[in-house]
Amino acid sequence: MTEERILVLKSKLSSFKIELIDVNGTPGVIIPKENLLEVCKILKNDNELSFDQLVDAIGVDRFTKKDRFEVIYNLRSVRYKDRLFIKVKVDANEPNSPSLVPIWGSANWYEREAYDMVGVEFTDHPDLRRMYMPEDFEYHPLRKDFPLMGIPGSLPLPNK
């Protein structure tokens, strides 16, 4: 992303409480949960920003007391050919975040994966099922308190 584009981004989002970060050369924004949908609408629909493609959502378990979880969205712009990361912090007491499916359709499966692996619930998601694990599995494997070897008995084996 060029310097000019970052300035445009700053001016367009100046009315929100956002924080600009640098992900090893790629810009990113930390957005409060309450403003997420509004900011994302601007990011997608504004002609000068035009981040029209969502290519990934990453669920992270930071294992801290406050803001334990984090969801990172990976955006690409087809017109300007560059990339932007969005970060949303989610507390463990109420592990939910607004779903971005109404804005980018591709968020559907990415958020299902993040829900399956880390256990962040996405409110207003049209079809929040698990992506990889069976539906009756109780745990979220990519949480830091889930052991690497798994929990015995958590996956039922077929009867002999």
Partner 1 sequence: MSNTIIDRQPEIIKSKILRALESNDLSVQFSDSLDNEMILNMGPQHPATHGVLRLLLSLDGETVMKCVPELGYLHRGYEKLAEASTFHEFIPHTDRLDYLQPMANNVAYTLAVEKLIKLEIPDRAKYIRTIIAELARIQSHLLAIGALLMDVGAVTPFLWAIREREKILDLWDLICGARFTNTYTRIGGTAQDISEEIIDGIKKFIKEFYGNLKECRDLVERNKIFIIRTEGIGYLEPKAVIDIGLTGPLVRAAGIEQDLRKDDPYLIYDRLNFDIPVYDDSDALARYYVRVEEMIQSARIVEQCIEQIPAGPHNALNSKKVLPAKQKVYTKMEELINDFMIINFGINPPKGESYGAIESSKGELGFYIISDGSGYPFRMKIRSPSFSNLQGLPEMMKGCFISDTVVIIGSVDPVMGEADK
For partner 1, the binding residues (CB under 8 A) are 23-26, 52-56, 58, 60-61, 72, 74, 78, 81-83, 85, 104-106, 108-110, 113, 117, 127, 129-136, 141-142, 146, 148
Give Rg (Cα) of the chain: 17
Q: Which is nearer to partner 1, 8 or 72 (CB)?
A: 72
Q: Which is nearer to partner 1, 66 or 129 (CB)?
A: 129
Residue spans of beta strands (DSSP E) within the chain: 19-23, 26-30, 53-61, 69-76, 83-90, 96-98, 121-123
- Tell me how far apart the alpha carbons of residues 43 and 82 are, in angstroms, rounded to a whole number: 13
Q: Which is nearer to partner 1, 13 or 104 (CB)?
A: 104
- Tell me how far apart the alpha carbons of residues 67 and 124 are, in angstroms, rounded to a whole number: 21
**Least Å from the CB of residue 135 to partner 1:** 4
Q: Could you give the count of Cα atoms lying within 13 Å of 144 in the half-sphere of its Cβ?
A: 9
Q: Which is nearer to partner 1, 14 or 134 (CB)?
A: 134
**Least Å from the CB of residue 111 to partner 1:** 12
